[in-house]
Amino acid sequence: MPISRISLTLLSFLLITTLSACYAPEPESATEVNANYNVELDIAQLMSLVLEPASDTLWESGGWVLDAYGYEELYPTTDDGWGFVRAQAAIVVETGNMLALPGRAEDEDAWMIYSEGLSEAGIMAMEAAEAQDKEAFFQAGGQLYSVCTACHQSYSPDVASRFDNSAD
Ligand code: HEC
């Protein structure tokens, strides 16, 4: 075998080894580090103190209401108004992560899917607020509501029925 062929083979071997080292997944231990998350707030507190106020703001900032003057738009009318609503949507996004923390998550299955769904609905609302797109913002609100309802039906039938009653 000519020498150049050998060194080429060696070179490509080295290249492949280096590349695969770059693309190797993180060692298991890196994800298993037991970080000290502060999960002193329980689920009920996280709901009533963090998630509900932010979501209420989103729902109260979309759609129309019928009042003495006719149909009144609820959407923000200024850049600052949209900016505020976008910030509330960011709280919703991050609450999805807070719910998924070890010590809070109730399981590794549906709970995680609902938590992720919460963050996704929040991202939709953030993007709509950034674009000041009323239609997309309204849809994000609807998607958000269906995630709340789905999780409550699975994990807190009590809360699910309270939500239904309050809609009366
Ligand atoms: C991943 C699951 C999950 C999602 C998503 C979720 N919740 Fe909850 N929520 C719960 C559970 C579980 C409880 C019951 C907590 C308890 O009583 O210990 C609860 C309770 C509540 C309560 C009652 C809190 C109290 O003081 O007793 C409110 C209000 C609430 N949720 C609002 C919402 C809203 C609004 C959304 C959507 C924007 C939402 N939740 C999304 C799981 C979820």
Q: Does the beta carbon of 48 sit less than 6 angstroms from any atom of ligand 1? A: yes
pLDDT at 97 over 80: yes
CB-CB contact of 105 with 99 (8 Å):
yes
Residues in contact with 154: Cβ distance below 8 Å, sequence separation at least 6, in sequence order: 110, 114
Task: Output DSSP code: residue 65.
Answer: E
pLDDT of res. 167: 47
Q: Does the beta carbon of 115 sit less than 6 angstroms from any atom of ligand 1? A: yes
Residue 57 covered by a domain: yes
CB-CB contact of 76 with 84 (8 Å):
yes
Closest C-alpha to ligand 1, atom 37: 148
Residue 131 covered by a domain: yes
pLDDT at 105 over 60: yes
Question: What residue numbers bound the domain in which 81 lies?
Answer: 42-162
Per-chain mean pLDDT for the chain: 85
- Alpha carbon 111 to chain centroid distance? 13
63 alpha carbon to ligand 1 midpoint, in Å?
Answer: 24
Task: Output DSSP code: residue 46.
Answer: I
153 alpha carbon to ligand 1 midpoint, in Å?
Answer: 10
138 alpha carbon to ligand 1 midpoint, in Å?
Answer: 21
pLDDT of res. 168: 43
Q: Does the beta carbon of 159 sit less than 6 angstroms from any atom of ligand 1? A: yes
pLDDT at 150 over 80: yes
Q: What is the pTM of this model?
A: 0.81
52 alpha carbon to ligand 1 midpoint, in Å?
Answer: 8
Of all residues in the chain, what percent are helix, strand and coil, respectively (each to 5)? 70, 5, 25
Number of structural domains (the chain) is 1
pLDDT tier, 108 (very low <50, low <70, confident <90, very high otherwise): very high
Residue 7 covered by a domain: no
pLDDT of res. 68: 87
CATH of the domain at 134: 1.20.120
Residue 167 covered by a domain: no
Listed in sequence order, the DSSP H helices in 1-103 are 3-23, 28-32, 43-45, 52-59, 79-99
CA gap 157, 163 in Å, rounded: 10
Higher pLDDT, 71 or 122: 122
Per-residue pLDDT of 128-144, as tens digits, reads 999 999 999 999 999 99
Q: Does the beta carbon of 52 sit less than 6 angstroms from any atom of ligand 1? A: yes
